[in-house]
Amino acid sequence: MIMFELDQRIAEQLTEVALNSAVQVRCGNSNAFMVTASTMVPLMQMFEMGGVYISGSRSAIEMIEAFETIGIDVSHIQFIDLVSSGVLGGTDVDRPNIHFVDSPIMLESILLRTLYLLRTTANERNFIILDSVNSLAIYNEDRMLAEYLHTFINTFRQREVLSVIINVPDQTSPLVLSNLDLYCTDLIDRGQVVIH
């Protein structure tokens, strides 16, 4: 197990957040995993939440192994992997908590799969982590991504599910970023300096 220091200020900030909130988490290229882990660990351990992790930046197995390396058990978290179906042999993993969607272009399928997993979970309080806006932006036009984020956030707010949306702001288009600013109720900013 590797010693890993979490950003405790993120945990403090999360204590202020309501269950039906949408939290925009800004990170940089170099601190993305630290910020993600610092957000997810308190949700699981302090607030005893379950949830769904939408893994668009890296394959789900890679994310799970990264969490395990720092001693965090994520076996009760469901992972939706948007990466591995694009790699032949990528879906050949034996983990019951990994679910695959063919491509990040299938935005509605991602939403439906998340809703399906939430309907089948026994947890009373849940979060959704979308990792990340930037990985979806590779495949989807700005206007469609903006529409999707609007639908995504409202869908989970209505169901009292906390949504956490990770993005690297200096690599996010102004349209998508301004929409995120508008829809999200909270901001955790560990991103790089943004100059527009």
**Shortest distance (Å) from residue 120 CB to another protein:** 6
Using an 8 Å Cβ cutoff, are 127 and 162 in contact? yes
Q: What span, in angstroms and rounded, lies between the C-alpha atoms of 40 and 63?
A: 12
d(CA 148, CA 140): 10
- Cα of first residue to Cα of last residue in the chain, in angstroms, is 41
Answer for which of 97, 123, 155, 185 binds another protein (CB under 8 A) is 155
Which phi and psi angles does 189 have, rounded to 5°? -110, 105
Residue number, 145 or 188, with CB nearest to another protein: 145
**Does 109 engage in binding with another protein (CB under 8 A)?**
yes
CA 35, CA 8: separation in Å to the nearest integer?
Answer: 10
Residues between 120 and 149 with contacts to another protein, criterion CB under 8 A? 120, 139, 141, 143-144, 147-148
* Chosen residue from 116, 121, 171, 185 binding another protein by CB under 8 A: 116
Among residues 60, 72, 84, 113, the one that binds another protein under rule CB under 8 A: 113
Among 155, 138, 122, which Cα is nearest to 22's? Answer: 155
Q: Based on CB atoms, which residue is closest to another protein, 19 or 106?
A: 106
Dihedral Cα 108, 114, 120, 122, nearest 10 deg: -160
Least Å distance, CB 145 to another protein, is: 9
Q: Does 66 bind another protein (CB under 8 A)?
A: no
Q: Could you say whether residue 154 binds another protein (CB under 8 A)?
A: no
Cα 107 to Cα 66: distance, rounded to the nearest angstrom: 26
CA distance 153 to 177: 14
Total site size for another protein, rule CB under 8 A: 22
Contacting another protein (CB under 8 A), which of 111, 136, 153, 165?
Answer: 111
Mapping DSSP to helix (H, G, I), strand (E, B) and coil, where does residue 190 land? strand
Site residues for another protein, 69-108, by CB under 8 A, read 102-103, 105-108
Q: Please report, as ranges, the residues that interact with another protein according to CB under 8 A.
A: 102-103, 105-109, 111-113, 115-116, 119-120, 139, 141, 143-144, 147-148, 151, 155
